[in-house]
Amino acid sequence: METGPAVNDGSGWGMGCWLCHHMGCKSAFGKLRVQSTGTVAIQNLLTHGEGKKHKAALVKLQASLEVTSRDIAPDIEGHISGLSSQVPRVDRFVAVATSVIKYDTYDSYKDRLSQLSIHSSLEVGGKGSQQEFKQMVACLDGPLQDRNRRVIKKAICSSIALDKSDDNLIMIARVLIPEGIFDAILGLESNVGPDVEHVTQAIENIVRRACVNQKSRRDVKVSLYDSKDDELDEAAMTTFVRSVRSAVADGGPVEQKALFLSSPSCHVLEQAPRQGTAYFRNLSLIDRDRPHRHRSVIRGMWGNLNSTVREFLDKLVTGQRSLCKLIQTSKRYATYFNLAQTGVKIEDFGHTIRNLSYSEVRFDSRSRPLFRLFRLLPVAIDTLRFLVEGGNDEERAFATELLALFSGDEGFVRVIGAAVAADAMVMGWHYIRLDDQAAADASLSGPRAAQLLHEMRQMLDAGGLFMEEASGTLTHAALEAMKNRLVYVGANKAVALGWPAAEGKRRRPRTMAKETLIRIYLI
């Protein structure tokens, strides 16, 4: 027997039997009218469970669960549930609910299903298909959307963020309400055209949909977004639209212009201003998001490098025919790279690195290959040596040309200058990672920026990068790799890698690298 509290509209709260209530039993327990303290005692509940009316209700429930060929497919999992194996179990609904709450993707849901198959002895049921996932999301997403609507209805001040990928536009809001700050995904619009007008209309559609009061369930076969019984909460939409003060998007001109056209500044861009007020009438600040701004900073640092160092790094990392790119795309280069790592202490690098690729999509991806490259600089030099010894004519020419850039005093400046640049970029990793989070606290940015500037001044301007205590830096790794190496590149030909001559005849490495590079990082 199961019992639980219930509320009677006419007579306040009452206790009863869940089974008797749902089976229509005409008793105090069935009508949820057990109110006296004595009757609610445990012994009375146990006595009710042994009564005839309760047992009759149990028989009635069992009869309703009997499976017939007319009602359900014969593929069932036991006589207790009587449910088809095509029906998802509670575990799957929990996995979908987690995806809905975290705004995860279908791939994340599939990962959770694989974990369920390991940790649960129950049959999960269902097909695990994307259509089934949509149906469960339609069941569980309603309460979350209703919560979002109730929150934005109380908005005091809001900020929105846009991101368009292919033909999908996603919109996120950060809302200040009396209780605090609230973050939510307002929605996603699909099949958005490439023009500014399409993006502008998609923004309005997302806001309107977020303010809809869902009155009935969604029919997946018709639409996950709309139902004929839906009602627009005009108060919520008006409050939210007027509360928007700032908006951010990436550097794409379409999203940026769409935001301007939705703001009071739209007349600046339009020759014939539209009639009426702007959609976001109080929108006064439009900018790129912080991760994309810092991506521009990284590119600026890269672009302002000394031309000698920049060309050297282009051959190592960024160029289409760079060493990193060839190790990534060529099986022969990757084989030589793995061969050169024989004997390397794996614990020093975590595992054998198979490639040194970078992606323009990631904001710190230029510095990561640099970090790997200078940590494995002796391995990279050995890779070039193997290419000279066993490669074809094209590979030998490439390796010989690149090794020549390492040689002599000028080569020393190239390598150490590039290592200093890599160290400078690595210093900014944590700061960039802080701003590459949706929940980044703005109050942390100021102190972290001040700390970063202090570190750069001490390491770069004051020369701390060349002190003995900084032995774990990439600059020291490069200095160690450049100590008196001789690489043969042909018959009676060799490339000498080494430090410059004695200090009395040549300037110190610290001075050479500082004059070449450090000036571009001074604030």
- Convert the pLDDT of each residue in 153-210 to its tens digit: 999 999 998 888 888 888 989 999 998 888 888 888 888 888 888 999 999 999 998 8
- In the prediction, which pLDDT does 72 show? 45
- In the prediction, which pLDDT does 362 show? 45
Q: Which of 97, 95, 105, 110 is nearest to 144 (CA)?
A: 97
Task: Calculate ∠ Cα 274-276-279, nearest 5°.
Answer: 85
- In the prediction, which pLDDT does 425 show? 78
Cα–Cα distances in angstroms (integers) from residue 140 to residues 10, 98, 154, in the given order: 31, 10, 23
- Token output for 290: 């912080």
Answer yes or no: are the C-beta atoms of 310 and 367 closer than 8 Å: no
Q: Which of 95, 84, 85, 87 is nearest to 119 (CA)?
A: 95
300 residue type, one letter? G
Cα–Cα distances in angstroms (integers) from residue 189 to residues 141, 283, 287, 354, in the given order: 16, 21, 22, 39
Answer yes or no: are the C-beta atoms of 227 and 218 closer than 8 Å: yes
- Token output for 501: 């001559």
- In the prediction, which pLDDT does 68 show? 52
Q: Which of 365, 427, 382, 439 is nearest to 182 (CA)?
A: 439
Gap between the Cα atoms of 108 and 95, Å rounded: 9
For 291-320, b where at least 16 C-beta lie within 10 A, e where not — what string?
bbebbeebeebbeebbebbbebbebbbbee
Which positions of the chain have pLDDT values less than 70? Answer: 1-13, 35-42, 64-86, 103, 116-128, 215-226, 267-276, 290-291, 294-295, 298-299, 302, 342-371, 429-445, 491, 501-523
Residue 186 per-residue DSSP state: E
Gap between the Cα atoms of 71 and 126, Å rounded: 17
Answer yes or no: are the C-beta atoms of 205 and 189 closer than 8 Å: yes
HEC per residue, 214-273: CCCCCECCCECCCCCCCEECHHHHHHHHHHEEEEEECCCHHHHHHHHHCCCCHHHHCCCC
Q: Helix, strand or coil for residue 389? A: helix
Sign of CA dihedral 349, 354, 360, 362: negative
Answer yes or no: are the C-beta atoms of 376 and 343 closer than 8 Å: no
